[in-house]
């Protein structure tokens, strides 16, 4: 049964145009072609990336955070309470009003105390500023290096300037060593992102991130199997062109450099929209949809590749919507924040506690007897 499934999976009509077989892509006369077995190396490389990332975050990103004065917010911890903790872990982190009243009776706390406990407990689970900075630093470093390397791989190739060259002689297109390593490193990195996504900072687009990573891995792998390497290198370099800008904007945001963050964000927004909403659909996808049909009839691989491109493009439209919302806030003078982030909750009842301890408040600071505000 396994052999039958294997034969169906690698059926030539799924991966190659009509009248072509895998024998046509066997190495000969000094020409080397992409093979599925080449991708086995990406899994151990992905785990190597995780090790390198840990070392980078520990010995590079953490000291850098100190130099940039990345500060942690002091969070008030929720008082240990078995009843509330059980409900928080097993039922929901955001209880409804009826649940709050029920928990108030069970725990012996007032309704206000239960609400305050859940706010503080949720804040405890939110990732620290240092964790966010370290993750952004790692992704910034990789995307910047990957973009530079990707441009070095494709900038001197004829298909970088004339997209019809992408399909010239397809699929009998030999693989270059630079293309091999570009593919292996990119695919390994996205595997590592997928492996670490459960422990990374969770944002509101968590599901979309998973879809993006899976779609990217499938696209890179399929383009390798079907020898869509020229198109694949263009697509990967196009994506890397804006990602490092976003990560650098996050780094400066966490460091409190608001003006620098906002300026980089505007550049990122422009590059993202131009590359993902203009160049990708109207140049690259046009190239993958129409130019191949001049050479051979459509086959399953053609439809599958372009379907996955549509999935990626749909995600780009979703993220462009978030970016435009953030840009509107910037234009109207509001602080630019990551729309995907889960914001810190304020504890309004803390003011009441301060009143009891230190007297009346003015603008959030205790007013002292000599009419001077207490400073930090």
Q: What is the pLDDT of residue 179?
A: 94
* Residue-by-residue DSSP string for 240-254: HHHHHHHHHHHHHHH
* Tokens 């009998």, located at residue: 172
In a domain, 202, yes or no: yes
- Max avg pLDDT among 52-56, 354-358, 367-371: 52-56
97 or 45, greater pLDDT: 45
In a domain, 339, yes or no: no
Whether 153 and 273 map to the same domain: the answer is yes
- Between helix 258-274 and helix 300-331 the angle, nearest 10°, is 150
What distance in Å separates the CA atoms of residue 11 and residue 23, rounded to the nearest whole number? 12
Whether 263 and 114 map to the same domain: the answer is no
Beta-carbon count within 10 A of 293 CB: 11
Beta-sheet pairing, 365-366 with 361-362: antiparallel
Whether 170 and 294 map to the same domain: the answer is yes
Biggest alpha carbon–alpha carbon distance for the chain: 92
Whether 176 and 309 map to the same domain: the answer is yes
What value does the mean pLDDT take over residues 275-289? 95
Going by C-alpha positions, the residue among 192, 183, 173 that lies closest to residue 149 is 183
Whether 212 and 135 map to the same domain: the answer is yes
- For 88, counting Cβ atoms within 10 Å of its Cβ (0-12 exposed, 13-18 middle, 19+ buried), the class is buried
In a domain, 351, yes or no: no
Handedness of CA 114, 116, 118, 120 (dihedral sign): negative
Mark residue 127 as left, alpha or beta (left: phi above 0; alpha: psi -120 to 50; beta: remaining). beta
Whether 52 and 90 map to the same domain: the answer is no
Overall number of domains in the chain? 2
Are 15 and 226 spatial neighbours (Cβ–Cβ below 8 Å)? yes
Whether 190 and 100 map to the same domain: the answer is no
What value does the mean pLDDT take over residues 272-291? 95
What value does the mean pLDDT take over residues 62-78? 84
- Between helix 206-225 and helix 229-254 the angle, nearest 10°, is 150
**At 334, is the pLDDT very low, low, confident or very high (cuts 50, 70, 90)?**
low
For residue 302, the number of C-alpha atoms closer than 13 Å in the C-beta half-sphere is 21
Whether 106 and 210 map to the same domain: the answer is no
Whether 119 and 134 map to the same domain: the answer is no
Q: What is the pLDDT of residue 47?
A: 97
- For 315, counting Cβ atoms within 10 Å of its Cβ (0-12 exposed, 13-18 middle, 19+ buried), the class is middle
Please state which of the ranges 213-217, 253-257, 340-344 shows the lowest mean pLDDT. Answer: 340-344
Query: Rounded to the nearest 10 degrees, how much is the dihedral formed by the CA atoms of 10, 14, 17, 19?
Result: 60
Whether 180 and 142 map to the same domain: the answer is yes
The boundaries of the domain holding residue 93 are 82-125
Instruction: Answer whether the bond into residue 301 is a cis peptide, omega within 30°.
Output: no
CA distances from 58 to 65, 69, 133, 135, 265 (A): 11, 16, 12, 11, 26
Are 367 and 360 spatial neighbours (Cβ–Cβ below 8 Å)? yes
**At 99, is the pLDDT very low, low, confident or very high (cuts 50, 70, 90)?**
confident
In a domain, 274, yes or no: yes
**At 83, is the pLDDT very low, low, confident or very high (cuts 50, 70, 90)?**
confident
Going by C-alpha positions, the residue among 59, 60, 45 that lies closest to residue 189 is 45
In a domain, 340, yes or no: no
Residue 41 in tokens = 């190396």
- The residues, ordered by sequence, that sit 6+ positions from 363 with a Cβ below 8 Å of its Cβ are 373
Going by C-alpha positions, the residue among 250, 216, 278, 275 that lies closest to residue 339 is 250
**At 371, is the pLDDT very low, low, confident or very high (cuts 50, 70, 90)?**
very low
Handedness of CA 199, 200, 205, 209 (dihedral sign): negative
In a domain, 349, yes or no: no
298-324 confidence digits (pLDDT tens)? 988 899 999 989 988 998 999 899 888
What value does the mean pLDDT take over residues 255-264? 89
In a domain, 265, yes or no: yes
Average model confidence (pLDDT) across the chain: 84
In a domain, 10, yes or no: no
Whether 117 and 54 map to the same domain: the answer is no
Whether 149 and 297 map to the same domain: the answer is yes
Q: What percentage of the chain reaches a pLDDT higher than 90?
A: 43
Query: Which CATH number characterizes residue 89's domain?
Result: 1.10.10.60
């Amino acid at each position: 049964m396994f052999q039958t499934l294997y034969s169906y999976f690698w059926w030539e009509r799924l991966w190659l145009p009509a009248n072509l077989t895998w024998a046509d892509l066997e190495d000969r006369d000094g020409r080397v072609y992409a093979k599925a077995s080449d991708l086995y190396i990406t899994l151990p490389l992905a785990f190597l990336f995780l090790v390198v990332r840990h070392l980078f975050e520990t010995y590079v990103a953490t000291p850098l955070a100190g130099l940039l004065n990345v500060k942690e917010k002091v969070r008030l911890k929720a008082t240990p309470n078995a009843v509330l903790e059980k409900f928080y872990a097993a039922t929901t982190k955001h209880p409804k009003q009826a649940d709050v009243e029920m928990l108030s009776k069970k725990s012996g706390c007032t309704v206000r105390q239960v609400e305050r406990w859940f706010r503080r407990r949720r804040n405890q689970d939110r990732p620290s500023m240092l964790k966010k900075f370290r993750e952004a630093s790692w992704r910034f470093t990789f995307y910047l290096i990957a973009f530079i390397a990707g441009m070095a791989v494709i900038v001197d190739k004829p298909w970088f300037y004339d997209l019809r060259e992408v399909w010239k002689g397809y699929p009998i297109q030999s693989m270059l060593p630079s293309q091999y390593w570009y593919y292996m490193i990119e695919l390994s990195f996205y595997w590592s992102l997928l492996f670490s996504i459960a422990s990374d900072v969770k944002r509101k687009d968590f599901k979309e991130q998973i879809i993006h990573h899976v779609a990217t891995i499938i696209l890179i792998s399929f383009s390798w199997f079907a020898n869509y390497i020229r198109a694949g290198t263009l697509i990967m370099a196009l994506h890397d062109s804006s990602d490092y800008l976003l990560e650098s904007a996050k780094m400066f945001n966490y460091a409190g450099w608001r003006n620098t963050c906002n300026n980089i964000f505007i550049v990122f927004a422009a590059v993202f929209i131009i590359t993902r909403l203009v160049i990708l659909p109207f140049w690259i996808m046009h190239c993958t949809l129409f130019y191949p049909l001049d050479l051979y009839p459509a086959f399953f691989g053609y439809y599958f590749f372009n379907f996955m491109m549509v999935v990626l493009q749909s995600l780009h439209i979703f993220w462009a919507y978030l970016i435009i919302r953030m840009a509107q806030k910037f234009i109207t003078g509001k602080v630019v924040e990551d729309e995907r982030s889960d914001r810190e909750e304020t504890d309004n009842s803390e003011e009441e506690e301060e009143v009891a301890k230190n007297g009346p408040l003015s603008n959030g600071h205790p007013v002292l007897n000599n009419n001077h505000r207490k400073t930090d």
